Structure formats: structure tokens, C-alpha cells
Chain A
Amino acid sequence: MAVGVAGTAAQAEWQDPNDVLQKLLEAQPDSKYLHQSEMNIMMMPDNPALWLLDDGERLFYEERGPNNASLESCDFGKGEGVLDGAYVELPRYFEDTGKVMDFEMRLVHCMKEIQGFTDDDSAVSQRHGSGSDIMRLTTYIAHQSSGYAWNPPLDHPKEKAMRDAGEVLFFRRGGAMDFNCAACHGSSGKQIRASVLPEMRNSQEWTKAVSWPAHRAGQDNVRSQNHRIRGCVWQMRHAGILPDTPVNTALISYWNDAARGEPAILPDLKR
């Protein structure tokens, strides 16, 4: 494909996640972060996250829950049941709830409102692990946006407010070790132990950094953006963060905005 990665206008065309990655690697030959794992780059066409797609698709279209309904009437922002390009345009403001919602928050909202699941049902309470409904659905839905450029809307004042608050949160020091997100993601090519870290101001490193769901080789599980936030917050020795909460949404608003214009790798494979 002739479309280059660097500096192109927002793309609205599906691309295989491995093709997206290969173009990023070519565009950033000196990025230690992007090139750190030869093994993972080699494994990308056989990314174990792809194994979740069929289950995710089945879960999406199956009539499930107390209401015996599919998720086809769920609106992820581009209309009921429209999944193409929806994942990269989140978080966004939703009229029906009056608030800015990130992907997982919106998915859970639909599973509760449309299908009738409650917090007691493992379908929504289990958020992590390749075997969870949430991660299977997340992987399937996100995959429909692979290769699309991150493009979270900022037209609504609440979208702008959450994104701007997310930027402040990214730099907000706290916890037992005084860390903020920028402690690890403020400069390029730095390492924590053996891990090379992505720099938030390098949008081509950052698009890979925020491209979850991704199979984490070291954990042998597919993980979400929210799982990454929880892990970072835990390692930073902040207080434990909770799912479906606005701090998650604001941070993801900022993350996805910082990758704006760069194509998403969905799903990705990480160390």
C-alpha cells in the first residue's frame, strides 16, 4: 500500500494489524521501543490475540443475557451496530448517558442496558483475561478499527474537558513514590529494567503503546487499555484504580488524542 505512516491525514481504511506495525517499524528505524522485541515482531502474523476474534464475534451477535438480546443495537458512537472505525473514535460524549465514555465503559453499559446483565454476572464482572467475555468482545470490536487513525472527537465541550483533564492527570505526581505517568513515558529510549518504554510525545511510539487490546507475551493473556492503566497505577504506588470510572476515561481520552492521526494496531502483541 502506498500510504505512508508519517504525517498522513487521518486514515479511514481497515488494515491488517501486522501491516500497520511493519509500516511503523519502517517509519521509525531508530525507535528502541518499537524494535525492542524481535520475537514479538516475528510472531505478529500469528498473534494469539487473533484467536479471540471468532468468540468475540459470536458473543456480539448472540442473543444473550436476561433480555435475550444481541449487541447489534449498541451504539459505540457511529450508530447502532456500527463497528468499523468506532474503537479509534473513543472516548466520546454520548447523549443517552450525558457523559464521556471510554470503550469498556460503553461496552459494559450496553451489556447492562440492552442485554440486562448486572454487576453480579461474570459476563460483565470479569474484565481481564483472554477467557473473559469482555476481552473477547473487546478484541473483536477493536479489530474492526485496525489501521484506522486514532481520532477521538473533541467537538463536544465535555470531550475537550475530559481530554484536557487527562493531560493534567498524566503529569500529576502522587502516591508513595511521587510518580506520574511521565516518569516512565516522558522521554524516548529509556528502560525500566529490561523494558524499553514508549514516549508519549512520539505519536508513532505512542500509537503502539495505546494499541490495546494486545496479547501480552509475558502474561500469556490479551489485555485492555484499562488493564494497562491499572497495572501502571499499581506500580506507581498510587491508590488502586477502579473500573468504569472517570479517571480511566480522562486518561484514555488523553492517550488516544496523543496518538491522533497514527493508525491503530488492533490487536497488538506486546512483551
Chain B
Amino acid sequence: MFNKKNLTAAVVVSASAALAGCDQFFQDASDREVDITQMSPEELAEHLVLETDSYRMDQEVQEGGTGRERMQQDEVQALCSLEGSPDSETAGQVVAAARASYERPDGGVELGDWRRGAELARSGYGYRVGHNNDDHGTREPGANCYACHQMDPAETTYGTIGPSLANYGRERGTDESVLNYVHEVVSNPHQYFPCTYMPRFGRNFLTEEQISHVMAYLLDPDSPVNQ
């Protein structure tokens, strides 16, 4: 029963095509209702998400656009909608898609202010919508690193979904290859870790300036992360 699900982009496309015009099912029991027992689980899931008014689809979201765009998957999201690790073919597709969309900042990667990075690493504010909306006009969105990673060894509340990053910079230094690699991982980690749970912070989430501060917190020899 609990087989690995590998929801490919192709399945998503065919599901949306097959379901066009079938959005009345859950609103009434008219003759026009679609038979949900005739859909594959993947088709029904797409139908439920996109066609049943289960979400505030028209609500504006902080990065621009609406809730609907939040719920429409891009290639990486569709490829990574699976349990466990991707197979090698899927992993290859994810890495290729991630590399294709990555952009190194103009003028190269530089470290910002680790003190600003420390604030960003601790802040879980930003981009939440629905019954309660984060207002980026009053408070900037954070990077929320501590939700998943240990960083400053003196900080006691940290998550363990991601690996510990304590002393990350002390072990690696700050030469150009390290800066480029860390930027690539923070901006789009699927280039190295296909289907990781780490968000793509370069994808309409953090500014390049914010990323430079977070990177400084991670790599600057003076940062508490490296003491």
C-alpha cells in the first residue's frame, strides 16, 4: 500500500488536461460531477489542489502573484514529490533543472555582514499567507536557518532536519571556490542535493544582499558560528 510515489511532471500535465472543466464536483451533486473513482491518485490530488477552491487561490502573496501560483508546481517541485530519495534518473533531471536556473550574482559572490546574517538565520518571519499574512513592509523575511540547522555552537534551540553547520567556515575557509559553492547551495541546493528539503533561497525568497549576510554568518572567521 505504501509504495514509493514518483509524481513526474508528465503525469501532472496529463492530469490537468484531463480535468479541464470538471471543477463543480465538490460544489454540487449535479450531473456534471466528475467521478473521482475514475482518476488516478495523482490526478485526483491535482484536481483537489487546483480545482476545488480548497485554498485562497486569489489571495496576493508577498513575492508577487497569487496563492494559485504557490500551488502550481514547477519542475523541481513536481519531480521531487516523492517519498524517500529520488532514483538516479529523477535526480539527474532535478540537478539539470536546478543548474539551468541558477545565476551567479553580477560581480561575483561576496560576504556581507555576519551580524545581519545572525538575525536572518534566527528569523522565521516571512511569506506566510492565509488567515494571517506576514507583512514584509513592517518586517523583512528571514532565512529561518535554525529551524533545521545547528550553527552557533552556543545556540541551544536548533533543528536537526539539516546537518549541523557549526564551525562550517573554520573548516573550509573563504576562498573563491568555497564562496561560489556555498552561494550555489543557499540559492538552489538541488544542484548538489537533488530533492533536498532545503528551500531554494535564491528563488524569489531572499535578496542577494540577504544571502551575502547569511553566508557571512556561516563563513566569516569572526562569526560566532566559527568560534
The answer for the CA separation of A245 and B47 in the assembled complex, in Å, is 12
Q: By the criterion CB–CB under 8 Å, are B127 and A176 in contact?
A: yes
Interface string of B179-223 (1 = CB under 8 A from A): 000000000000000000101100011000000000000000000
Task: Flag whether A180 is at the interface (Cβ < 8 A).
Answer: yes
Q: Which residues of A contact B82 (CB under 8 A)?
A: 171
- Is A74 in contact with chain B by the CB < 8 A criterion? no
Q: Known contacts A168-B45, A250-B48; is A192 also within 8 Å of B71 by CB?
A: no
**Is B83 a contact partner of A186 (Cβ separation < 8 A)?**
yes
Contact partner, A176, options B63, B66, B147, B197, Cβ 8 Å: B63
A162 within 8 A of partner (CB): yes
Residue of chain B at shortest CB distance from A250: B48
Please name the residue on chain A nearest to B26 by beta carbon.
Answer: A246
Q: Which residues of A contact B161 (CB under 8 A)?
A: 183-184, 190-192
Those of B88-103 within 8 Å (CB) of chain A: none
Find residues 161-202 in chain A having any chain B CB closer than 8 Å to their own CB.
161-162, 164-169, 171-180, 182-184, 186, 189-194, 201
**Chain A contact residue count (CB 8 A cutoff):** 50
CB-CB under 8 A from B53, the residues of chain A are: 242, 245
User: By the criterion of a CB under 8 Å from any partner CB, how many residues of chain B are at the interface?
Assistant: 58
List which A85-108 residues lie within 8 A (CB) of chain B.
97-99
Binary contact readout A7-33 vs B (1 if CB under 8 angstroms, 0 otherwise)? 000000000000000000000000000
Secondary structure type dominating chain A contacts: mixed
A249 to B147 alpha-carbon distance, docked (Å): 28
Given known contacts A174-B73, A192-B148, A246-B54, is B81 in contact with A167 (CB within 8 Å)?
no
Beta-carbon nearest neighbor of B52 in chain A = A246
Across-interface contacts of B129 in A (CB, < 8 A): 234, 237, 239-240
The listed residue with most B CB atoms (<10 A of its CB), out of A165, A176, A177, is: A176
Residue pair A168, B42 in contact (C-beta under 8 Å) = yes
CB pair A164–B36 under 8 Å, yes or no, is no
Which B residues are in CB contact (< 8 Å) with A112?
none
Report A122-177 residues with CB < 8 Å from chain B CB. Answer: 157-158, 160-162, 164-169, 171-177
* B111 at interface, CB cutoff 8 A: no
Contacts of A194 in B (CB 8 A): 157
**Residues in A neighbouring B128, C-beta threshold 8 A:** 234-235, 237
A164 touches B197 (CB 8 A): no
Q: Are B70 and A238 touching (Cβ within 8 A)?
A: yes
Bound together, the chains give a CA A168 to CA B7 distance in angstroms of 8
Q: How far is the CA of A139 from the CA of B56 in the complex (A)?
A: 28
Give bound CA distance, A193 to B64, whole Å: 29
Q: Residues of A with Cβ closer than 8 Å to B? A: 97-99, 157-158, 160-162, 164-169, 171-180, 182-184, 186, 189-194, 201, 230, 233-235, 237-242, 245-248, 250
Interface residues of B (CB under 8 A from A): 2, 5, 7, 26, 29, 36-37, 39, 41-42, 44-45, 48-49, 52-57, 59, 61-63, 66-68, 70-73, 76-78, 80-84, 127-132, 146-148, 157-161, 197, 199-200, 204-205
A-B contact list, 12 entries, CB within 8 Å:
A99-B26, A164-B41, A165-B48, A178-B197, A184-B161, A192-B147, A235-B128, A238-B55, A239-B67, A240-B129, A241-B56, A246-B52
The 8 closest A-B pairs by CB, nearest first: A240-B130, A239-B67, A247-B54, A245-B54, A168-B45, A164-B41, A177-B199, A165-B44
